[in-house]
Chains A and B, each alone.
Chain A
Amino acid sequence: MPDRPLLKICYVEDDDDIQRVARLSLERVGKMEVSIIGDPTIALDAILAFKPDLVLLDWMMPVMDGPTLFKRMRETEGLRDMPVVFLTAKASQRELDELRGMGAAGVLSKPFSPKDLPEQLRAIWRALP
């Protein structure tokens, strides 16, 4: 368990509406500092600049999907050990297992509940080594 509370979150998501809901949820309900990135191709630099505690990734995105971005992060100095949580509308057990197998800290499914999302993320945060 990390010795500090979960405060800064980066969310990579291409859908504008979901971005807005997630921002409200994390800022208003979770009282967290949030940076939303709509274009996954510039995500690596944006994350490096924002220095979040945890990155929230969508799976299905145009040009570059979540798992690919996740692999890039693992190859990038400074992002290698950053905890990543997937937020996905894919529901099959096989796909979820695949994500966990890649080393994701957690997988949450869409639709998510904005009331509960911050608490779910904190639970994952607390379970980190």
Chain B
Amino acid sequence: MTSGSAAPVDLASTRDASARTEDVSGRADPQRVLADRVEQLYGQMPLGMAAHLLIGGIATYELWDERTRDLVLFWWGLVLLVTAARAVLYFGYRASASKLVEAEQWMRWLAISALASGVTWGFAGAVFFPSHTDEQQVFLAFLLAGVASAGIPAYAASWPMFAMYAGVIVLPFTYVLANFGNRLFTEIAVLVPIFYLINVGIAYRLNRVFLSGYRLRHAYDRLTEDHTRLNKQLEQQIEDLQEARQEVEASGRKLALFAERAPISVIEMDANSTILEMNPAAEHMLGYSALELIGRSALSTLFPADEATLTPEWWAQFVARRLPANRVRARCLRRDDLEIEVEFTITPLVNEAGDLVSIIAQCQDITQQLEAERLKKEFTSTLSHELRTPLTSIIGSLQLVNSGVVGDASGEISELATVAERNAQRLLDLINDLLDIDKIESGKFTLVPESVRLADLVQESLILNKSFADRYRVGLEVRGDVPDVRLHVDRKRLMQVMTNLLSNAAKFSPEGSAIEVNTRCADAMVRVEISDRGPGIPDDFRSRIFTRFAQADSTTTRHKGGTGLGLAICKRLIELMNGRIGFDNRPGGGTTFHFELPVLVDAVST
């Protein structure tokens, strides 16, 4: 029973093993095997050449007699020539750099050399055998048998080469023997080819042994190579894994540190809003210790019953949609029952399989921030009213005085009243600018856009600013035709920008010069340029000209007035209207301020 079942197993494993060997030999590179064979064959050459010379020398000495002197000398010359040629071939091969690539060519050269070497012996047999004495014939037969069989180990790596070499030695000799007319020689002539065939057979078998040896060697080399490479890969992978693990550990520590030391509260919850973890900032914000809250429901613990935003319904929807929720404001109950306003950023952590792993809420107590905003708003509104009310009386009274409605004032009184009015007006401008910039920067500024004709805007701005320009004895001119386009802008605010740029230009223009207004249209944008012949913008001021309270130097404020807010407001207003504002030095002196605004496409030329 046992042996019966064991037998097939053994057979199978033997088959496997042989199949493996086959497989392994098959992996050897044929070109490399060929090169190895060539190397082996050339390796035999020095011995072959030495033997050739030695045996050739002895034969020449033995066969020497007066009758055949010329023929023997010729043969000796042939032996020397062939050996010299083979030596050249041998050294040529040794010096070659292309042994592997041109292995086939070297093999061919060697075959020719083997043939030549064989021919010298064949020649000796065919020519000297009939012409010499019986003893010398025995010598020749012995010599030929020797050199022919010596070819077997010499050409073991290529049996066809041996067959060729031995063939040209044996065949002419056989022919001579067969035609000698001697019964003994005829019998030997029959035996020689048989010996020859047996020798070729042996060479063939030897050749195969060599071949499989070479193949195995190369296959083994290749296996070793593969193995080394695989080992290296494995080492690299292990190294990478190690590094990756260290990175993960490091980022984990970093993350923990972030949460631990962050000023923002971080709370981790599961899908049921059960608190899993929280950082010290969250403990501080809520007045609970983490131990008290972990395991409890955030929804039912942290929010007052009448909370309207972060309700269980909201939470259910959030969990279902699994999308991050930003800036969710809700009221929270602290441990001491104090209510605080909290802004939440809630992010679901979803793994690759799409499962909700946990929910991270980052939150910030914004109670004080909201209170500050409310106070600021109240303050701004009050400031606006409380400052304007006295200014209304001041400016109104001075205007009445200056316009002569209440009777003519004498020279100096009138002069002082004008100064007072101008400065009261400046104070009002400053208040208005401050309120504007506050509104724009707090994002509470809303434009009232309407469709406006560019030509009307330009015309109106010139009329509005004419009296101001007159005061500085500066002209206002529109150059060329104003493109007939409409803009979608806040008319009042764009007029504010124009007034700002025109009055700035007027303030800095030399008396008697003119401010030029140029307009043109390109790429669905309209460009308005306001150019003066003033002193230009100082280099060190160029970069901060559009910042708040920017003025080239403090003396300017005294001489020219202005709040230093005008250009900052202009820039923000133009940007709110999707435009750009900038300035350039004007060729020939002065400055050009320009802004670009998108043309209202629907209503071009209407």
| Stretch from B231-239, B348-356, B389-397 at the A interface | B389-397
Near A by CB (< 8 A), chain B positions 51-69 give: none
* Interface contact B393-A18, CB-CB below 8 Å: yes
* Interface contact B393-A114, CB-CB below 8 Å: no
Q: From A22, A60, A93, give the contact of B396 (CB < 8 A).
A: A22
Near A by CB (< 8 A), chain B positions 334-389 give: 381, 384-385, 388-389
- Residues in B with CB closer than 8 Å to A93 are 446, 448
Q: From B392, B396, B406, give the contact of A89 (CB < 8 A).
A: B392
Q: From B397, B403, B448, give the contact of A21 (CB < 8 A).
A: B397
A35 CB within 8 Å of chain B? no
- In the complex, what distance in Å separates the CA atom of A102 from the CA atom of B218? 102
Given contacts A24-B406, A29-B405, A89-B389, contact A114 B396 (CB under 8 A): yes
Given contacts A18-B393, A25-B400, contact A114 B405 (CB under 8 A): yes
> Main SS of the interface on chain B?
helix
* Interface contact A91-B403, CB-CB below 8 Å: no
* Interface contact A24-B400, CB-CB below 8 Å: yes
- How many whole Å from B523's CB to the nearest CB in chain A? 32
For B390-431 the 0/1 string (1 means CB < 8 A from A) is 111111110110010110000000000000000000001000
Q: From B381, B392, B405, give the contact of A110 (CB < 8 A).
A: B392
- In the complex, what distance in Å separates the CA atom of A90 from the CA atom of B448? 18
A17 CB within 8 Å of chain B? yes
Q: From A21, A91, A92, A94, give the contact of B393 (CB < 8 A).
A: A21
Count of interface residues, chain B, beta-carbon cutoff 8 Å: 24
* Interface contact B385-A114, CB-CB below 8 Å: no
Q: From A21, A90, A112, give the contact of B381 (CB < 8 A).
A: A90
* Interface contact A91-B406, CB-CB below 8 Å: no
* Interface contact B388-A110, CB-CB below 8 Å: yes
- In the complex, what distance in Å separates the CA atom of A24 from the CA atom of B397? 9
B31 CB within 8 Å of chain A? no
- In the complex, what distance in Å separates the CA atom of A91 from the CA atom of B389? 12
* Interface contact A60-B399, CB-CB below 8 Å: no
- Residues in A with CB closer than 8 Å to B393 are 15, 17-18, 20-21
- In the complex, what distance in Å separates the CA atom of A82 from the CA atom of B397? 29
- In the complex, what distance in Å separates the CA atom of A28 from the CA atom of B401? 12
Q: What is the interface residue range for chain A against chain B?
A: 20 to 34
Near B by CB (< 8 A), chain A positions 1-44 give: 15, 17-18, 20-22, 24-25, 28-29
B432 CB within 8 Å of chain A? yes
* Interface contact A21-B388, CB-CB below 8 Å: no
B521 CB within 8 Å of chain A? no
- Residues in A with CB closer than 8 Å to B390 are 17
- In the complex, what distance in Å separates the CA atom of A112 from the CA atom of B389? 10
- Residues in B with CB closer than 8 Å to A29 are 403, 405
- In the complex, what distance in Å separates the CA atom of A18 from the CA atom of B399? 13
- How many whole Å from B430's CB to the nearest CB in chain A? 13
Q: From A20, A21, A89, A112, give the contact of B384 (CB < 8 A).
A: A89
- In the complex, what distance in Å separates the CA atom of A47 from the CA atom of B393? 24
Q: Nearest residue in A to B405 (C-beta to C-beta)?
A: A28
* Interface contact B405-A89, CB-CB below 8 Å: no
- Residues in B with CB closer than 8 Å to A60 are 385
- In the complex, what distance in Å separates the CA atom of A46 from the CA atom of B446? 39
* Interface contact B400-A21, CB-CB below 8 Å: yes
Near B by CB (< 8 A), chain A positions 25-73 give: 25, 28-29, 60
- In the complex, what distance in Å separates the CA atom of A17 from the CA atom of B397? 9
- How many whole Å from B602's CB to the nearest CB in chain A? 25
- In the complex, what distance in Å separates the CA atom of A93 from the CA atom of B446? 8
- Residues in A with CB closer than 8 Å to B399 are 113-115
Given contacts A24-B406, A92-B381, A110-B388, 16 further A-B contacts (CB under 8 A): A18-B389, A20-B393, A21-B396, A24-B405, A25-B400, A28-B400, A29-B405, A90-B384, A91-B435, A93-B448, A111-B428, A112-B392, A113-B396, A113-B399, A114-B403, A114-B405
Q: Top 4 nearest A-B pairs by Cβ distance? A: A21-B396, A17-B393, A89-B388, A111-B392
Q: List 25 A-B contacts (CB under 8 A).
A: A15-B389, A15-B392, A17-B397, A21-B397, A21-B400, A24-B405, A25-B396, A25-B400, A28-B406, A29-B403, A89-B384, A89-B392, A91-B384, A91-B388, A92-B439, A110-B389, A111-B392, A111-B395, A112-B396, A113-B395, A113-B396, A113-B399, A114-B399, A114-B405, A115-B400
